Structure 1
Amino acid sequence: MRIDRTALADLARGAAFLGSGGGGDPYYGLLLAEAALERTGGFDLISPSDLADDALVAPCGWIGAPTVSVEKLPNGGETVAGLRRLEQIMGRRIDAVLPVEIGGGNGLAPFIAAAELGVPVVDCDGMGRAFPESQMVIFNVRGVSACPSVLTAACGSLAVIETDNNLTHERIARGLSVALGGIAHMVEYPLTGTQAKHQSIPGSVSAAIAIGAAIRTARTERRDPFEALATALRATGLYPHCLTLFDGKITDLERETRGGFSIGKVVIDGFGGDGQMEVLFQNENLVARLNSEVRAMVPDLITIMDRETADTITTERLKYGQRVKVIAASAPSMLREPAALALMGPGAFGFDPAFTPIETLNNIEGA
């Protein structure tokens, strides 16, 4: 599949939704990708099945606090510098790249690298959404090492990380990102073609494009973009359930940048006295409570959107007075497996470790 300017914009819109509030605002990443498209003529998106079994495939993305990324912009060279160093370490050329997470700006990160390196982007990722920590990927669940990984910053600094434990890798990388100004680019979890085929979440990039296209088309045709979103999510096969949890106005917001994360909560009052919803976040939205009753929890997606345009509002762009809808979608089935829930379920964030799907919490018929 050839990715053109329209598909890039659709990808940015869809990846913003799949970020569940995190992954970084895709706006600047879209500008960089569009510039790369103009220089190089476009990008190729390939299926994992198209990879040779011995191919070298490099997942990449940004690490740090999204609040910092709004003011500390990348220069566009960080991704390529990290991938070139990985090639030196591995002693061979990289055959393809993919987003370590499809959510937010990270869904666009590999396209910039693909254009400069002349390699395709693989239609898969490691999360099917966004998570705040680098060990919260299906690659880790399946036993793949994050190392060797390469962390680069806009100032030109570069660090190679080698550990025997993926959690230790996250702690080191997080500390480095803080030292480098709060955000950095990271190439991690180098894969073989066989691993990319069997140990990733397939179809997530094309799913994000389809989601963005559905919202764009609905707005153009003056149809309900939220209905179009729900239909598109179900059609992907990755996100079978979607519903509107709440409709209201933001009346309170607590947010701070701490330890390399954007942490806080947002309070939304319903229109017409329809109660109050509280959403807790750590880069990504983690738990949504309606009148103190949990209605959605990680790893299921919780996304706050403008109620008129269906534009996703990332956690760093939440503001008092915004009129919003809170949308929940079921996570890909791989993320609901017991081994995955141990790493990226509610217990990993200090909540009650028992995960309950949105279709159960909200009594979705036919679930």
Structure 2
Amino acid sequence: MFHIDHDDVDDLALGSYVVGTGGGGDASLAKIMLHEAIDQNGPVRVVDAADLDPEGLLLPIAVIGAGVGFAEKLLNGAEAERALTLLERHLDRRGVAILPMEVGGVNTLFPLVVAARLGLPCVDADSMRRAFPRLEMTVFTLAGIPASPCILVDAKGNTVLAETVDNTAAESFARSTVVAMGMFGVMSAYAVTAKQCLEYGIQHSLSYALELGRHVSAIQRGEPDAYDQLLRFADAQILFTGKVADIERRVSGGWTKGTVTLEHLGDPKRTMRVDIQNENLIAFEDGEAIITTPDLITFLDVETGIPMTTESLAYGQRLHVIGMPAHDLWRTPAGIELSGPRTFGYDIDYVPFGGNA
């Protein structure tokens, strides 16, 4: 067990952007909310699933929608409690802890806000250890655990509960609902017990993001060897260092889609294109895929060390393109089938990322 206090918030946000792989939304508002929640309720207790009653119900929570929705709309503060109260009523059970559905972007910090407000611990685990654009892309789906009941709440108090035949249908219903909600909502899905989380979830995702953020913070302070230490910790590589030459972004079907093209700083003949669907999906250098989903692609500003979200990309930025291997569960045949490039309509196979090997 450990606690998240004020001194951890900035580092956790930095790490959340790294594993957010360009998506997951701007965590600025979640940072403010978390500081406020800590002021009012004290540091947030983070526990291992193994420390809880194995049959205890975990209460999953996340925000859902296109990143532009996070930037343009505000939460009213009651959405999560409304969603989780409905979940408990529907299941006729009380929850023992909050579970992050996705450690990536705003969904890294938001569950901690909810935990503080409800007086519950937050579990150091999730179902992705990165951000993914689709609800069915979780390790719980790989384990055959249903997403439903799936509950969505918007800032006006509109509430939808969906019971679906499978997790792909849950994504379809949730995505169409969040579009009707103005591209942004709060969601609970994949209600699991502590035992199921321990057996099928990805453990220590919050502490992993926090440690990533501490390494990024060291880069921003200009500490010697900070980049090397980050790359070693994450088994990552700098794949490309270039200047943003072109950006194409649009909101379609509940996602932010587009491409960003970079020209290499040392060799202008080299170019890289990164395709986006909320998150960075595939990086092509000179037309050849060099890293693909489910492995992670993230941008760090060369001058400032700031991890960049899709919405914060701008012409002329000088960026490191960093590749990181996904959690081992995503690199299995079943994980690749669920989240690899062919799932997103690309006629290419998964390109295994080698990390430091």
Which of structure 1's runs of 4+ aligned residues deviate more than 4 A?
A: none
Rounded Cα–Cα distance in structure 2 between residues aligned with 1:346 and 1:40: 43
- Pick from 345, 351, 359 the counterpart of residue 346 of structure 2: 351
Could you tell me which runs of 5 or more consecutive residues in structure 2 were left unpaired when the two chains were aligned: none
- Pick from 303, 317, 324 the counterpart of residue 319 of structure 2: 324
Rounded Cα–Cα distance in structure 1 between residues aligned with 2:294 and 2:212: 19
C-alpha contact 1:151 1:184 (8 A) present in aligned 2: yes
Rounded Cα–Cα distance in structure 1 between residues aligned with 2:126 and 2:7: 21
Query: Which letter does structure 1 place at the counterpart of 2:330?
Result: L
Aligned residues: 355
For normalisation by structure 1, the TM-score amounts to: 0.94
> Over residues 105-126 of structure 1, what are the superposed CA-to-partner deviations in whole Å (9 max), with x where a residue is unaligned?
1111211110111111111110
For normalisation by structure 2, the TM-score amounts to: 0.96
Query: Which letter does structure 2 place at the counterpart of 1:250?
Result: V
Describe the shift of the 1:218–1:264 C-alpha distance in structure 2 as closer, same or farther (beyond 3 A).
Answer: closer
Query: Which letter does structure 2 place at the counterpart of 1:311?
Result: I
Structure 2 partner of 1:266: 260
> Over residues 266-315 of structure 1, what are the superposed CA-to-partner deviations in whole Å (9 max), with x where a residue is unaligned?
00111133411100000000000111121110000000111122211101
Query: Which letter does structure 2 place at the counterpart of 1:284?
Result: E
The 3-state SS of whatever aligns with 1:309 is coil
Structure 2 partner of 1:166: 167
How big is the shift at 1:352?
3.1
> Over residues 51-90 of structure 1, what are the superposed CA-to-partner deviations in whole Å (9 max), with x where a residue is unaligned?
2111100221111111221111222221121111111112
Name the Cα RMSD after superposition: 1.3
Structure 2 partner of 1:115: 116
Q: Quick one: percent identity of the two aligned structures?
A: 37
> Over residues 132-185 of structure 1, what are the superposed CA-to-partner deviations in whole Å (9 max), with x where a residue is unaligned?
000000011100011112101111111111112111111011001000101111
Structure 2 partner of 1:100: 101
The 3-state SS of whatever aligns with 1:320 is coil
Rounded Cα–Cα distance in structure 2 between residues aligned with 1:329 and 1:312: 14
Structure 2 partner of 1:337: 332
Query: Which letter does structure 1 place at the counterpart of 2:158?
Result: S
Describe the shift of the 1:353–1:295 C-alpha distance in structure 2 as closer, same or farther (beyond 3 A).
Answer: closer
Rounded Cα–Cα distance in structure 2 between residues aligned with 1:73 and 1:317: 18
Rounded Cα–Cα distance in structure 1 between residues aligned with 2:297 and 2:219: 21
Query: Which letter does structure 1 place at the counterpart of 2:300?
Result: M
C-alpha contact 2:19 2:129 (8 A) present in aligned 1: yes
Q: Equivalent residues in 2 for 1:183-202 (5 A)? A: 183-202=184-203
How big is the shift at 1:221?
5.3
C-alpha contact 1:226 1:310 (8 A) present in aligned 2: no
Structure 2 partner of 1:155: 156
Structure 2 partner of 1:65: 66
Query: Which letter does structure 2 place at the counterpart of 1:19?
Result: G
The 3-state SS of whatever aligns with 1:86 is helix
Rounded Cα–Cα distance in structure 1 between residues aligned with 2:278 and 2:319: 18
The 3-state SS of whatever aligns with 1:98 is strand
- Pick from 296, 302, 309 the counterpart of residue 291 of structure 2: 296
Larger deviation: 287-296 or 249-258?
Answer: 287-296
Q: Equivalent residues in 2 for 1:1-367 (5 A)? A: 1-220=2-221, 222-233=223-234, 241-274=235-268, 275-359=270-354, 367=357
C-alpha contact 1:218 1:228 (8 A) present in aligned 2: no
Larger deviation: 155-164 or 328-337?
Answer: 155-164
Larger deviation: 2-11 or 129-138?
Answer: 2-11
Rounded Cα–Cα distance in structure 2 between residues aligned with 1:224 and 1:324: 18
